[in-house]
Structure 1
Amino acid sequence: MTAALLDRPALVERLRAELGKDAVLTDADVTASYARDMMPLAPAGTPLAVALPSNTAQVQAVVRACAAARVPVVPRGAGSGLSGAANALDGCVMLVLTRMNEIVDVDPDNRLAVVQPGVVNLDFRGAVEKHGLFYPPDPSSYDWCTIGGNLATNAGGLCCVKYGVTTDSVLGLEVVLADGEVLRTGRRTVKGVAGYDLAKLFIGSEGTLGVITEATVALRPLPQAPGTLVAGFSDTEAAGEAVAKVVREGIVPSLMEIMDATSIKAAEAYLKTELGAGSDCRALLLCQSDSGGEVAQRELTAIEQVCQDAGADMTFVTDDIAEGNMLLQARRVVLTALELYGVWLTDDVCVPRTRIAELIHECERISAEVGLRIAVVGHAGDGNMHPTIVYDGSSAEEFARAQRAFDDILDAGMRLGGTITGEHGVGKIKREWLAKEIGPIGLRVHQQIKAALDPDNLFNPGSMFS
C-alpha cells in the first residue's frame, strides 16, 4: 500500500500526459463536486483526481495507469444515481464519462443505434425520434442522466410496464476490462445466442466489472401520441385490486403509475392546481396507452371499466396531449414537490403487483412510528415503488429516523415477497440487504465473478458487496 501511495503524484502526471491537462482535475473544490451522487445516506470519500476521457483509448489509458499504481477506479456518469454506486473512495480516480457523448450511428433500417456512455438520455431519445424511432428507457431523471449510468444501474422508468428496463433494449456493449483490454460483446442482429450473454452481465454491475464505453441498443417505431387515464380511489386496496385486474386481463398500457395521498397533496401544492381526485382520495392511478387510434381507445376504456368495477370514485380519460402531459407532470414532480417540506430520501423496492396496497400501508405504519412524512409513488405496472422520506436536513436526529425508516421499508418489501431494488441499484447503501436477499451462495457467485474479471479489486470496490 505504501508503494501505491508514493506512486500517486506520478499517476496524476501520467494521466495528464495521456488525456491532457484539462482532462485531469485535482483541485479539491472541483473534485468534491464529482465525489457523490444524489443519495445522502451513502458514504463518499475524497478522490485523488477526476479523469475525463474523450474516447475508449483514453479510458484504457486511465485503467492501465491506475492498475499500475494499484489505485481504485470509480466510473461515473452525470451523478443522478440514488444508491451511492458512483461515490468516491479516498484516493481513487473518478472516471467521468460525460465527455464521451457521441451518438455514433443511427441505423433506421435495422432499428438500432450505437451510442457512447456520456449521451444524455433525453438527448438520445430526441435524436432517434427524428428517424421515426423510439428509445424506451425513461428514468425520472431522463433530462440529465446519461446512457452509461442507465446501463451501469440497469435503470428503468415510467414505461417499464410495456417496454422493460434498460437491459431489454441492449444488443451489445464495448467494455474496457481491468487489464485495459477492450471486450466487444453482443451483436447488431435481432437474434444471437453465441456464447454466454456477457452484455447482460455488465448491465447493472455498477462499474464493478468493467467500464462501458459504447452500447448498441435496439430501437422501436415511434409510438402514437398517448391517451391518458386518471382514476382516484378513496380506498388503497381498491386501487391495488384495479392494478392486479389490469394485469390479469392482459391489458398492457404504456404507463401505469400510482400516487398515494401524501404524493397527491404535495404535487397539487407544488403545481398550484387540483388533480380532481378529491380531498378523501387515498390513491391515484395514472395510465397511458400509446397504441394509437381505436386500439388505445379500447385499452383505456377497458382500464376505466376495471377501475370503476374496483371502486374508483373518479375516472377521467383524455386524448388531449396537453391534458395528458399535465396529469403526468403531477407524477414527475413529486420529488421536487416534497422539497416544500424538507430534504427527501427516496427508497426503491419492488413487490408483487398484488401487494402494492400492502406496501403503501406498511409505509403509513412506518411513517407513524418514526414521525416523518413518507410519500409513495411508483410504477404500478411492475410493482416498483419509491417510498420517499422527508426530514429536516439540519437535524441529525431526524436524519437518523429517516435512515431507520429507509431500512424498515426495505424489510417490509422483502417480507411482502419483493426485492430491495427495482431500478436504482445496490450501490453502497444496500450491500447488507443484497446479502440477505441473494443468500450466501448467491453472494459467493457474485464474488467469484468479480474476482475473475477484476482480480485486484480496483473497479469500484465496495459497491454492491464487500
Structure 2
Amino acid sequence: METPARPGTDVGHELRTALDGLDLVEDPDVLSSLAHDDGEWAEVGRPLGALRARSSEEVGRAVRACAELGVPVVTRGAGTGLSGGANATENCLLLDLSRMNRILEIDAENLRAIVQPGVINDELTKELAEHGLWYPPDPASSPWSTLGGNAATNAGGLCCLKYGVTRDYVLGMRAVMGGPAGPYGTEVRLGRATAKGVAGYDLAGLLVGSEGTLGVITELTLRLRPLPRENPRTVVGAFGSLVEAGRAVALCTGRGLRPAALELLDRSCMRAVEDWKHLGIEPDTAALLLARVDTPGDAGTAEATELATAFTDGGAAWTEQSTDATEAEALFAARRLAYPALERLGPVLTEDVCVPQSAVPDMLARVEEIGERHQARIATIAHAGDGNLHPLLLAPPDDEQAKRAAQAAFEDILSAALELGGTVTGEHGVGLLKREGMERELGPEVCAVQDAVKQALDPLNLFNPTKVVDPAQA
C-alpha cells in the first residue's frame, strides 16, 4: 500500500505553493537534523521539507495538500523516540509540532488539563505543581519529550508501575484525519471530557500508541491527580548480580507490593552517570534497585520495610531506607540520566522488551548470556517492577563488527522476551526497528486485523507509512 504521487507534477514546487505563507523548512542541514529520532541504525529517508506548524488549521492545510499531491506525512515532536517511528520516509513532509506548545487550560475543579501536542512533559508537571496537581506519566525523557509524542507511543515511565501509562490519562483529543472522517485534513474530536464515557468505540485510545499512522494529534485532554503531599520514602538495594536483583523484583510482585516506582540500574549505567555528572554514586555493586514509596503515614513505613525485606531475601548485599528528598532525587536522577550518559560514549541501540514480573530474573540472565555469546557490550536499566527492561547495546561508531554484534544481540533479546511470554516493546513503540518482532509476536491473523484498521482510517496510506504496519502486507 503506497502513497500515490500525482503524476506529471513537480511535487516539491506544488507543495511550496500549497503551503505558501507557512513556516516551511527546506534547508538541507536543518532537514537532516529533523529527519530522524534517536533510534540508532533505523533507516532514514529524504524529506521534501518540514513544516513547523503553529495551529491545527495549519496542520489541516498541510494534510489536505499532501493528500492531493500524494506526499506522505510524518509527524514529529522533540525527536526523542527510540524506534525510528519519527524518521522521514522518502519525499515526505515532516510535520514538526514542537511549536504548538501551549497549555490551553488547567481545570483544577475537574482534574483535567487541555494541552497542545508540543508541550514538554516536565513543563506541564511544573505548571501543575503550582495548582497542587500532578500528571503521572513520566518517561525518562520527560525533560525533553513532548506530550504529543508521549501519546503517539503510549509512553510509560518510572511511575507507571502504580499509576499507569499515558493511555490511562488521555480522556480525549482533537486529531486531523482522513478517510471515513471526511476529506483528508478534517479535524475531529475523539474521546470525552468527562471522567467516564462509553459512547461508541474508544477511538481516542486507538490513536494513543498508534505512532502517527492514523492521523495527527493536535490537542490532548488529560486526566490529572492531586499532587502527593508527603515526601516519598526511598528504598535502595545493592546486589552482586543482575539475576539476584531480578529475583528480588519477582519477590516484591509475589508478595503483593506495588511501590510508586521500582527501577534497576546496572554497574555500567551507574559508572557512566557518575563519570558525567559526579552525583556521588559509587558503582561498587553489579546492580541497584530503587523503590519509591508514596503511601502516607504508618502504612508507607510498613510498605518500605516489606520492600527492604524482599530485597534482602532476594540476595541484596545491603539495603537502605530514606525519607531525605535530596538523596532520593540524586538516585532517581541517576536512573533518568543513564541513557544520555551512555549515549555520550557512542551510538546506543535501545531495547524495550517487557516480560511477566516472575520472568524478570530469567530475562536478565538471558540478556547476560546473549551479550557474552555475541561479544556485545550491554548496559541494562529497567522499569523492573513491571518487567519492562531496557538493555542498551553499545558500539563505537567506527566499529562495524561491534555494530553487527549489537544488532544480532538485539534480535536475540526480542526472541528471548517472546519465549518468556513477553512483548517486543513495552513503551517505545514499534516504529521501524520492531516491525519484524511485532509480526512474530502478534501472528498473521492479528496483523491482518491491524492492517485493516490502517486501510480503513487511512486509505491513502498518507500518515507515517512504513511504520508499525508492514507495507508489503497492507
Taking structure 2 as the reference length, the TM-score comes to 0.93
Query: Which residue does the alignment assign to 2:148?
Result: 148
Q: Give the C-alpha shift of residue 267 in structure 1.
A: 3.6
Check the 8 A contact 2:250/2:360 in 1, yes or no. Answer: no
Distance in 1 (alpha carbons) for counterparts of 2:58 and 2:340: 37
Aligned equivalent of 2:261? 255
In 2: Cα distance, 1:44 partner to 1:420 partner:
22
Cα offset for 1:46? Answer: 0.9
Question: What corresponds to 1:214 in structure 2?
Answer: 219
Deviation at 1:251, TM superposition (A): 2.0
User: Per the alignment, do residues 43 and 189 of structure 1 end up closer, same or farther by CA in structure 2, a change over 3 Å counting?
Assistant: same
Query: C-alpha separation between the residues in 2 aligned to 1:338 and 1:290?
Result: 30
Alpha-carbon deviations, 1:400-435, whole Å to 9, x = none? 221111111111111111100000000011111111
1:150–1:166 CA contact under 8 A, matched in 2? yes
Residue pairs, 1:251-330, within 5 angstroms: 251-272=257-278, 275=281, 278=284, 281-330=285-334
Residues 67-466 of structure 1 aligned to structure 2 (within 5 Å)? 67-178=67-178, 179-223=184-228, 224-272=230-278, 275=281, 278=284, 281-339=285-343, 341-466=345-470
Shift of 1:445: 0.6
User: The residue matched to 1:335 in structure 2 has which SS?
Assistant: helix
Contact between 1:41 and 1:403, CA under 8 Å: does it hold in 2? no
CA distance in 1: counterparts of 2:8 and 2:233, whole angstroms: 59
Q: For residue 57 of structure 1, what is the aligned residue in structure 2?
A: 57
Deviation at 1:283, TM superposition (A): 2.6
The answer to whether the 8 A contact 2:40-2:347 is kept is: no
Aligned 8 A contact 1:63 1:180 in 2: yes
What does the per-residue CA deviation read over 1:71-109, in whole Å, with 9 as the maximum and x for residues that have no partner?
100011110000100100111000111111111111001
Amino acid at match of 1:227: R
Moved more, 105-114 or 341-350: 341-350
Q: CA deviation at 1:2?
A: 6.0
> Is the 1:85–1:206 contact (alpha carbons within 8 Å) kept by the matching residues of 2?
yes
In structure 1, what is the Cα distance between the partners aligned to 2:453 and 2:8? Answer: 25
SS at match of 1:33: helix
CA displacement at 1:388 relative to structure 2? 0.4
Equivalent runs, 1:16-35 vs 2, <5 Å: 16-17=20-21, 20=22, 23-35=23-35
Task: Tell which deviates more after alignment, 317-326 or 252-261.
Answer: 252-261
SS at match of 2:217: strand
Q: Percent identity?
A: 45
Instruction: Tell me the C-alpha RMSD between the 2 structures.
Output: 1.6
User: Is the deviation greater in 260-269 or in 203-212?
Assistant: 260-269
Contact 2:270 2:282 in 1 (8 A): no
- Assess if the C-alpha contact under 8 Å between 1:4 and 1:69 holds in 2: no
CA contact (8 A) 2:247 2:360 kept: no
The answer (yes or no) to whether the contact 2:24–2:52 under 8 Å persists in 1 is: yes
How far does residue 287 in structure 1 lie from its aligned partner after superposition? 0.3
Provide the rounded CA distance (Å) in 1 between the counterparts of 2:413 and 2:216.
32
Looking at structure 2, the residues matched to 269 and 362 of structure 1 have their Cα atoms a distance apart, in angstroms, of 28
Q: Which amino acid aligns with 2:110?
A: N
Give the aligned residue type for 1:244: A
Instruction: Work out the number of aligned pairs and report it.
Output: 460
The 8 Å contact of residues 208 and 450 in structure 1, kept in 2 or not, is answered as: yes
**Structure 1 unmatched ranges of 5 or more:** none
C-alpha distance in structure 2 between counterparts of 1:443 and 1:5, whole Å: 35
SS in 1 for 2:185: coil
Could you tell me whether the CA contact under 8 Å between 1:432 and 1:465 is conserved in 2? no
Change (3 A) 1:316 1:151: same
Q: Would you say the 8 A contact 2:47–2:93 is kept in 1?
A: yes
Q: Secondary structure at the match of 2:156?
A: coil
Is the deviation greater in 299-308 or in 166-175? 299-308
Could you tell me which amino acid in structure 2 is paired with residue 250 of structure 1?
Answer: G
CA contact (8 A) 1:79 1:145 kept: yes
1:256-314 alpha-carbon deviations (Å, 9 max, x no partner): 00123433443444444664674xx3332100012233332222111112212233210
Given residue 123 of structure 2, which amino acid in structure 1 is its aligned partner? D
Q: Do the aligned residues in 2 keep the contact of 1:230 with 1:315 (CA within 8 Å)?
A: yes
Secondary structure at the counterpart of residue 50 of structure 1 = strand
More displaced 10-residue stretch of structure 1: 336-345 or 446-455: 336-345
User: How far, CA to CA, are the matches of 1:62 and 1:284 in structure 2?
Assistant: 48
